[in-house]
Amino acid sequence: MTEHVEYDEFGLFHENAQEYGLPFDQPPVVRRVEADMGDGRHLSALQWKDAEPELVLLHGGAQNAHTWDTVALALDRPLLAIDLPGHGHSDGPGPRPVAQLNATSNATDVARAVRALAPQAAAVVGMSLGGLTTIALAAEAPELVRKVVLVDVLPGITGERAKHITDFVNGPQSFASLDDLLDLTMQFNPTRSPASLRRGILHNAEQQSDGTWVWRWARHRPEAPADRSEVSGATQSMYAGLWDAVAGITVPFLLARGMRQDSVLGDDDEEELHRRLPSARVVSFDGAGHSIQGDMPLELAALIEEFVFGP
């Protein structure tokens, strides 16, 4: 019988701090909060510190709010890290399989959550799917988005550039043990430490009564695959609209771009950004891939601090 693994959601922050040399005199003040979507669903979030959140952080697809833990520790500011619909502790987005990865529908839910939990935030920071959701949010509720920070994402990502991500997401539905899950995760993240990946798994997966493990977001994945034509059509329509939304953004805009091979962006994406929004600022991270918050969290935190709160 597989051994039960103890998990304390708020008991691992000292590991983040130790790995990256951050001070850790006492555990940070972090608690679970939720926002009512008005239809029986709720979005869950982590609120850091007992003060009005100064930042909103949105994770990528198949991730959760804990992907920002090291960044949040380094920033040491009040902030709100939201679990997107169908991810982490949040309820699913609805019955259609496309909706879980749709930035436009996500933005509607996120707007309700931000209005309820972080209406005065100075910026919204979004990585991957969270970044696309940030763009959609800026179009739907511009009063909530005072500055934009995107982490390695822009509209129109090609399937080939994101193949390593989709291959990982479309992997096994369940795993016999935590070690099996860790082995697979290490294959797709060879530059990350086993300790950091194990933390990520504990936050992003849950052990079943029979000892097996499933991803938290996979709870909302349909048993039957979505119709590919429906997914493709919805994705292309969403991307076209999001590029138009980028062009309409009037607040300060920053793109943090990973430069390793596992980034999903190319020079053509950056060129299109400058064509659509000449005022956009781009900062390259040579030592990071797609998940800059995992590869170079301290450097990303310093950039966010300078861009959002600097002179």
Decide: residue 191, CB within 10 A, 0-12 exposed, 13-18 middle, 19+ buried. exposed
Contact indicator for 69, 11 with CB cutoff of 8 Å: no
Q: Which amino acid is at 266?
A: G
Phi, psi of 127 (to 5 degrees): -110, 130
DSSP string, 272-291: HHHHH-TT-EEEEETT--S-
Taking every pair of Cα atoms in the chain, the longest distance, rounded to a whole number of angstroms, is: 59
CB count within 10 Å of CB 287 equals: 12
Kindly state the tokens that stand for 10.
């708020």
Q: How many residues does the chain have?
A: 311
**φ/ψ of residue 47, rounded to 5:** -105, 120
The letter for the amino acid at 54 is E
Q: Is 80 helix (H, G, I), strand (E, B) or coil?
A: strand
CA 250 – CA 279 distance, rounded (Å):
9
d(CA 70, CA 285): 17
DSSP bridge partners of 36 = 42
Q: Which residues are tagged catalytic?
A: 128, 152, 290
Gap between the Cα atoms of 72 and 70, Å rounded: 5
Give Cα separations from 103 to 22, 77, 85, 248, 284 (angstroms): 33, 26, 10, 17, 24
**Tell me, what DSSP letter sits at residue 175?**
B
